[in-house]
Structure 1
């Protein structure tokens, strides 16, 4: 009967229950020292141990040891089947590991054999294919470098047709490519050449801007502003325009007077505006004055058309690719307003000098 518990088992259970908790400590526990201190604590002033107490404690410990031994033996017997099963599993696992090791050894031997069996011809094919890919990459790089060297002429053609925005964008693309291949000596030389081309583009933009001071073209002016935005020079473009208007007044008046008085000797070419006014013949005074008035009228007309253009077309930042702030419409109109006074003063001075200095 499973419910039956023998007297011996019941006694052993009670004995196990009497084992003190200190004996269950796995580390740093000395049972001899513990029992000795326990006996000494019962002396009550007596300098000697009572032999009967020692024998009683010894017998009690023996009884506990016997009960523990029985319980351990019983647990071993109860778990013997599990131990056997686990041992069998470990044995099977050990055999599988040995088979795996043998398989690895065979695979390595076969691999070495295969390596020895690869012919030199196959290795040469692999090496030749690698060289082929390297040469293909070299040819691609050469083709790109060849295109880069042709970009300089293409940029000049675009500038010739006043496609300044396209030229600047193409220059930026070339600059990125040049930076990618900067380790090549020919690219370093091309980098310097491209910088000269950029200077040529900016100079061409400035020359075209100066031409608008006499004959304004809204489409050309729009392209120039877009180009200045790409260059990040929108703030200085208006200053350049103001300077060109003043310069064109000075240069055009000198050209008209030189044409009127004639260019017979070098001294007249080097004369000042005031001296040239004195050289104007009396019979040519009216025609020269008329030509000056037409010139001034064209300049003022261009200035006014630019002013009206900015009133109708607020600045756009779609093409701006720099961190330079874009000038506002109010700022540009203020610039034009202040510049108009300077331009008008310059024209008045030229006309006054011409009238007063002429004979």
Structure 2
């Protein structure tokens, strides 16, 4: 049971990694690097918002799959209370599975959050047009709402990155407008 649960979680962690790489690879040209951070840095700023959307869609599907697995287990897990030694062992095994599946929700969310955070740090999202940036913030807000339903996490790490990216965007946007104003006044 323990080995099976570890394999299940490794499968989902691997799926998060592979689907993240596949989502980002669609938006870059000719880069063969397999490090996710390097791939994110290769995404052109004008493609970053749509890449973020694709990344979040892929990761959402994995989260949904795991959530449905946990839900199925809860619905099909029937407690039978008996004093039989074999049944006691079976009940201990069931409880172990329940706990591991519940812990897996948080584990998978942290993997997802790490991929999205890496993308945000590396993609140059702060250089995209204002409308696209706002759209990206909307995508991230939805993702944090999904996380709260998924595992009850408030997404503090992702919220911090959203704040950081927003400040960087506003500074970059302001700098650009000031340069335009300076040119206009000269």
TM-score (norm 2): 0.56
Q: Which runs of 5+ in 2 are unaligned?
A: 79-88, 125-186
How does 1:62-211 map onto structure 2 within 5 Å? Answer: none
The 1:269–1:345 alpha-carbon spacing in structure 2 relative to 1, beyond 3 Å, is same
Contact 1:261 1:279 in 2 (8 A): yes
- Of the three residues 323, 328, 341, the one matched with 2:106 is 341
Question: 1:258 — aligned with what?
Answer: 25
1:272 paired with 2:35, answer yes
- Of the three residues 45, 51, 55, the one matched with 1:288 is 51
The 1:235–1:272 alpha-carbon spacing in structure 2 relative to 1, beyond 3 Å, is closer
SS in 2 for 1:261: coil
Contact 1:246 1:346 in 2 (8 A): yes
**1:194-241: per-residue Cα shift (whole Å, max 9, x none)?**
xxxxxxxxxxxxxxxxxxxxxxxxxxxxxxxxxxxxxxxx44222111
Contact 1:253 1:292 in 2 (8 A): yes
Question: 1:145 — aligned with what?
Answer: none
Contact 1:278 1:358 in 2 (8 A): yes
Shift of 1:252: 0.7
1:246 paired with 2:13, answer yes
Contact 1:245 1:343 in 2 (8 A): yes
Separation in structure 2 between the aligned mates of residue 246 and residue 261 of structure 1, nearest angstrom: 23
**1:249-291: per-residue Cα shift (whole Å, max 9, x none)?**
11111111112103x2xxx223411111111012211111111
TM-score (norm 1): 0.30
Separation in structure 2 between the aligned mates of residue 290 and residue 260 of structure 1, nearest angstrom: 11
SS in 1 for 2:27: helix
Separation in structure 1 between the aligned mates of residue 67 and residue 22 of structure 2, nearest angstrom: 23
**Stretches of 4+ aligned residues off by more than 3 angstroms:** none
Q: Which has the higher contact order (CA 8 A, sep 6+)?
A: 2
Separation in structure 2 between the aligned mates of residue 336 and residue 329 of structure 1, nearest angstrom: 11
Shift of 1:314: 2.3
